[in-house]
Amino acid sequence: MMNSTQVSHFVLAAYVDTGLLKYVYFLIVLCVYVFIVGANVFLIVVICVNRSLHEPMYMFLCSLFVNELYGSTGLFPLLLVQILSDLHSVPASLCFLQIFCVYSYGSVEFWSLALLSYDRYVAICDPLQYQTRMTPRRTGLLVLLTWFYPVVVNSVSVSLNSALQLCGNVITKVYCDHHAVVKLLCSAADAAVSNVSGLVVSFHFIVLPLALILFSYLRILQVCLSGCKQSRAKALSTCTPHLASLINFCFGACFEILQSRFDMSSVPPALRVFLSLYFLACPPVFNPLMYGLNLSRIRTSCKKLISQVVY
């Protein structure tokens, strides 16, 4: 029996030998990562330096953009190294660190999207009480909880799982994944406990925020159906980026959950790799474009900042 203290490294078995094409893949992935960093940092700076954007919705967006940087940094640097590597092995400590980053990123992402939907619910359904309900102090507290709670829970979860006994070190993915490590557990009892704890964590970071999102948008829909054409248009213009961002992230998360829980051997390997990376790589690319182009105040602030830098 091999326990976790004897597993010094994990092997990422989803990589295949692509010859000289690996340099093309490296450049493509590097360009995507540079775009993610540049776009998200730029929007964070725009929101921070423009005092007119120091409102709850834009503070929640700023938190979302910081999380995009955090999640992509937990993935891309190691991914770039592995693309050029011939061994595809990762130290055990680095692997568990990546698992923590990936799952805390997903947890913060869901709750950030939930806060954005709740903010729009209050603004559209109870506009007269918006300033009293979404005070700067409450906004800051919500952002703090959005980060603190997932970080603490995922830290405990990863720490406990890293101490369990493993009977292998081969992960059939291009990055370290919690469920892939659970499959390597020696004890069926440990695997059952780990799966139950995973379901509890999923309830807190998937089911609860989705319930809040569903409640918020059902109430917004009620207001839209009962209101005038002008109010419907205004509500749709502010909610469209949030809904698009939510659908995009849920699309990727669903594929990742399905791939982790069910046999996907019939799916081509290249497609499996793409779908496993979708929820980590696409939202950080998609969200800055969606919010930067669709929210007029952010778009105007971006133009002003660019003009000040250029001139």
Between CA 264 and CA 176 the distance in angstroms is: 18
Gyration radius (Cα) of the chain, Å: 21
Strand partners, 185: 166
- Asked if pLDDT for residue 144 goes beyond 70, the answer is yes
Residues 40-52 have a mean pLDDT of 92
CA 176 to chain centre: 15
Q: Which of 31-35, 73-77, 250-254 has the lowest mean pLDDT?
A: 250-254
* 2 within domain boundaries: no
Between CA 175 and CA 180 the distance in angstroms is: 10
Count of C-beta atoms within a 10 Å radius of residue 112 = 27
* 4 within domain boundaries: no
Q: Which residues contact 49 (CB under 8 A, 6 or more apart)?
A: 305
Going by their DSSP bridges, the two strands 9-12 and 89-91 should be labelled as: antiparallel
What's the domain range around 87?
Answer: 9-310
In this prediction the pTM is 0.90
Predicted pLDDT at 231 = 64
Predicted pLDDT at 310 = 67
- Asked if pLDDT for residue 71 goes beyond 90, the answer is yes
CA angle (24, 27, 31) in 5-degree steps:
145
- Asked if pLDDT for residue 96 goes beyond 60, the answer is yes
Between CA 164 and CA 107 the distance in angstroms is: 23
- Asked if pLDDT for residue 70 goes beyond 70, the answer is yes
- Asked if pLDDT for residue 68 goes beyond 90, the answer is yes
* 24 within domain boundaries: yes
Angle formed by the axes of helices 56-84 and 136-162, nearest 10°:
30
Top-confidence residue, 206 or 45: 45
Both tokens assigned to 187: 């004890």
Confidence tier at 228 by pLDDT (50, 70, 90): low
* 211 within domain boundaries: yes
* 127 within domain boundaries: yes
Between CA 102 and CA 177 the distance in angstroms is: 8
CA nearest 252: which of 148, 105, 144? 105
Q: Which residues contact 217 (CB under 8 A, 6 or more apart)?
A: 117, 121, 239, 243
- Burial grade of 292 (CB within 10 A; 0-12, 13-18, 19 or more): buried
CA nearest 178: which of 93, 259, 102? 102
Residues 83-104 have a mean pLDDT of 91
Per-residue H/E/C for 150-188 = HHHHHHHHHHHHHCCCECCCEECCCCCCHHHHHCCECCH
Q: Is 11 helix (H, G, I), strand (E, B) or coil?
A: strand
Confidence tier at 165 by pLDDT (50, 70, 90): confident
Residues 19-34 as b or e (16 or more Cβ within 10 Å = b): eeebeeebeebeebbe
The CA-atom distances, in angstroms, between 168 and each of 1, 6, 32 are 9, 10, 33
User: What CATH number is given to the structural domain containing 158?
Assistant: 1.20.1070.10
Residues 157-180 have a mean pLDDT of 86
* 1 within domain boundaries: no
Total count of domains within the chain: 1
